[in-house]
Amino acid sequence: MTQGPQSPSRSATGASVSVAGVSHAYGDVEVLHDVNFAVQPGELVALTGPSGSGKSTLLHLMGALDRPTQGRILVADVDVGELRRPAVFRRTSVGFVFQLHYLLPTLTVQQNVELPMAAARVPRHERAARARALLEEVGLWGRGRALPSELSGGERQRVALARALANQPPLILADEPTGSLDSAAADSVWRLLEDLRRRRGTTVVVASHDRSLIPHADRSLQLVEGRLSEVSAVQPRPCTAER
């Protein structure tokens, strides 16, 4: 896989994340105020808070989709606000899962999973093999030729998770990944995230307004009106990466 010079080095235990004094504004409206926290490699952290509290913005900043107005975010010691080529960072170091999954409706399930690998110019045969393996990993073996419209909501979100894992990133950022799913499908996605953290040692940060999901995480952070108001350890779960 192509890895840009600005990308954090790949690690079996995931990437560390350090958010220091981060503020962000859209025009005159400040949505994040001096946010500080750190995530250890391989941790599964829940970022909770009501709608509009700045969770998605914080994830976008951590994934180099935007630059903070103030402060620094380090992912595996790389300042993501100073990247010259953020696309290279996004394709190699981070995997996004969104609430609305954003699968391209005109592409098949397997082609959707291959998209990040196509960006990284992974050879075609390797892309196909890796996409099939990922679909098997998320329990969708044999559905590669289906279109997203032929899948249930939970299945689509699992495809989105497979797509996020396509380039084996050390950090997964999930924005309300279970927000539009029923409880059974939501449980299935959470199990996958926990399993991913346990087997691959990938660092996972999940934003959700639903505090009932906190027990799935190692630690929870609460954002209220753009400020970090509560940091709590849920339960000590040491990371045991199997890779």
Residues of this chain that bind another protein (CB under 8 A): 56-57, 60, 63, 65-66, 85, 87-88, 90-92, 96, 98, 100, 102, 104-107, 110-111, 114-116, 118-120, 124, 127-128, 163, 166-167
Nearest residue (CB) to another protein, 41 versus 148? 148
Least separation, in Å, of the C-beta of 240 and another protein? 28
Least separation, in Å, of the C-beta of 111 and another protein? 4
Rounded to the nearest 10 degrees, the angle between the axes of helix 109-119 and helix 86-93 is: 130
Nearest residue (CB) to another protein, 87 versus 233? 87
Rg (CA), the chain: 17
Nearest residue (CB) to another protein, 83 versus 239? 83
Least separation, in Å, of the C-beta of 36 and another protein? 21
Q: Which two tokens stand for residue 193?
A: 């995230």
Least separation, in Å, of the C-beta of 103 and another protein? 8
CB-side neighbour CA atoms (13 Å) of 36:
3
Nearest residue (CB) to another protein, 20 versus 107? 107
- Helix (H) or strand (E) holding 117, with range, is helix 109-119
Least separation, in Å, of the C-beta of 96 and another protein? 5
Nearest residue (CB) to another protein, 78 versus 239? 78
Q: Which two tokens stand for residue 103?
A: 């699968």
Length of the chain: 243
Sign of the alpha-carbon dihedral angle for 153, 155, 160, 161: positive
- Helix (H) or strand (E) holding 157, with range, is helix 153-164
Three-class secondary structure of residue 172 per DSSP:
strand
